[in-house]
Amino acid sequence: MGHHPAEQARWWERPILEVLDGLPPDASAGTVPRPEFDPEQTSLAQRERAKAAELTAAGHAMTASGIKQRRQRYQRDGLVGLADGRSAKQMPSFGRAAPAVVEAMQQAIDETAEASSKTIGFVVWRATQILASREDAENVEVPSQRTLYRLFDRLATGTHATGSAITRRSVNARPAGPFGEVPACAPGEWMQIDSTPLDVLVRLDDGIAEKVELTAMIDLATRSLAAAVLRPTTKAADASALLARSITPETMRPGWPEALRMSRSVLPHRRLMALDERLEHAAGRPVIVPDTIVCDHGKIFISNNFRASCRYLGISLQPTHKASPFEKGAIEKTLGSVATLFAQFVAGHTGRSVGRRGRGLEHGPLWSLPELQGLLDEWIVIWQNRPHDALRDPDSPNRACTPNEKYAMPLESCGYVPAPFSGDDYVELLPERWQAINSYGIRINDRTYDDAELTPLRRQHSGVAEKRGAVGDPLRPLRRLPCLGT
């Protein structure tokens, strides 16, 4: 007989079955019951007395009534009935603490949801204050400090009551009940977009070293990074440009390894080339046309320009609930992966906080914004060939697929429809701007734009007094003009 309750239950099953049926469970075919356990010659009570005597003689003291009790429990509960009942007894979840003490501690923990982070000592002190304010405080025994600390550990598990305030608010914003997930069966069916500061210093045009913002979009079905752009400050036009980049192939650039070509990847390049000639010199990043984009309530994503761009491209925009970052958790995790797999390997990496930042970074070698954008675009192609833990085939759950492999799988059923994107389409995604047209043309951000089409409009009043006579979006001359230089 073993010491573990399960081993003891399995040990007792053999003698109990012999009492019930006359034969042990491992008896071979044709075995005849022993005379003292033969059901045709003895009663159930006689077999119980015989089994008790046999076990006692073998060194396991037992009475006939004990055998009867075990036999009844086995017939009622099965194998579980033979287990030692003492092992199934559980202590109360919160020990010997009174319910009033548990309620007070739970209230003190709940109060931390929107408050600034404090120590465990403060929460315990607050719980004692809540207990003291009760009408029946005299009848409630306050446990010792050690007991209150242990009670806090049990109740505060997973709440981040004394941790990061941002994480705590995010945890408390989660809805009750099991998590759900919207299935994404085809590339582009569900995509998520978000923007975050990139922990890298960049040398801007004016020579100042500043951090830039990363705006990226990910496809849920394949976990492909459809596009990503870096800007000193993200604007609505940048988010619209991200849409354009996601539906156009990523062209190979000088200096990129030949292994990054789409023709060298697992993507069916030859078959796709027959449908879309733009893929001839493309890198190994698939072209994904968004169907629905999930975004937060950032002003660049709910701006009129971004909404208009989505309407023009036939894309549905689905904002999340406010203060619900878990509703777009895929892009949140992906941006974190960019920080750990890309940003920390780049010169000028600052770390995610001031406490992790090195000294003199602004005086060291830094990339310019176009150079860093090129590095990021190259890294995205590498990301497409990196196994992703969220991409697993149900038939081979131990093998993680790459985003490119996951993109190639549903092509047979979903197909591929090229989405040509012309210069006029780019123009439609640009924001509206009112601008005076002078004899030299238009000057914006130290760039001069001019064209013969502007001749009738030079130094002319548009008739819109609110805009001081400037020419606005209805004519849209600015959007189609060449840049003459800076």
Same domain, 334 and 469: no
Total domain count, the chain: 4
Same domain, 454 and 325: no
At 414 the pLDDT is 85
Same domain, 259 and 402: yes
Same domain, 383 and 284: yes
Flag whether 182 is in a domain: no
Same domain, 458 and 378: no
Same domain, 419 and 437: no
At 46 the pLDDT is 93
* DSSP for residue 216: E
Which pair of tokens denotes residue 455? 């001749």
d(CA 119, CA 111): 13
At 486 the pLDDT is 38
Q: Are 265 and 385 in contact (CB under 8 A)?
A: yes
Render 377-426 in DSSP notation, one character per residue: HHHHHHHTTS--TT-EETTEEEEEPPHHHHHHTTHHHH--------HHHH
Same domain, 363 and 240: yes
Flag whether 180 is in a domain: no
Flag whether 457 is in a domain: yes
Dihedral over Cα of 332, 334, 338, 341: its sign: positive
Segment holding 231, helix H or strand E: strand 225-231
Q: Which residue has the tokens 């600034």?
A: 116
Same domain, 152 and 83: no
Rounded-to-10 torsion of CA 235, 241, 243, 245: -140
- Three-class HEC string of 61-107: CCCHHHHHHHHHHHHHHHHHHHCCHHHHCCCCCCCCCCHHHHHHHHH
Strand, helix or coil at 196?
A: strand
Strand, helix or coil at 229?
A: strand
- CA distance to 215, 336, 350, 476, per residue, from 378 (Å): 16, 18, 21, 34
Which pair of tokens denotes residue 331? 């892009």
Identify the domain boundary among 88, 122, 138: 88
Identify the domain boundary among 400, 423, 446: 423
Flag whether 279 is in a domain: yes
Per-residue pLDDT tens, the chain, 486 aa: give them.
556 788 888 889 999 999 999 988 888 888 899 999 999 999 999 999 999 999 999 998 999 999 999 999 999 999 888 887 665 556 666 767 888 999 999 999 999 988 999 999 999 999 999 999 988 888 888 888 999 999 999 999 888 999 988 888 878 777 766 666 778 889 999 999 999 999 999 999 888 999 999 999 999 999 999 999 999 988 888 888 899 899 999 999 999 999 999 999 999 999 999 989 999 999 999 999 999 999 999 999 999 989 999 999 999 999 998 877 778 989 999 999 999 999 999 999 998 888 888 888 999 999 999 999 999 999 999 999 999 999 988 888 899 999 999 999 888 788 888 887 877 787 778 777 778 888 888 888 788 888 888 888 888 877 666 555 555 443 344 444 455 543
Same domain, 212 and 334: yes
Rounded-to-10 torsion of CA 13, 18, 23, 27: 30
Same domain, 256 and 403: yes
Identify the domain boundary among 139, 172, 205: 172
At 475 the pLDDT is 33
Same domain, 254 and 393: yes
Flag whether 302 is in a domain: yes
Q: What is the CATH number of the domain that holds 417?
A: 3.30.420.10
Which pair of tokens denotes residue 167? 């994480």
At 479 the pLDDT is 44
Flag whether 177 is in a domain: no
Same domain, 139 and 199: no
Q: Are 190 and 311 in contact (CB under 8 A)?
A: no
Could you list the residue range(s) of the whole structural domain that residue 137 is in? 99-172
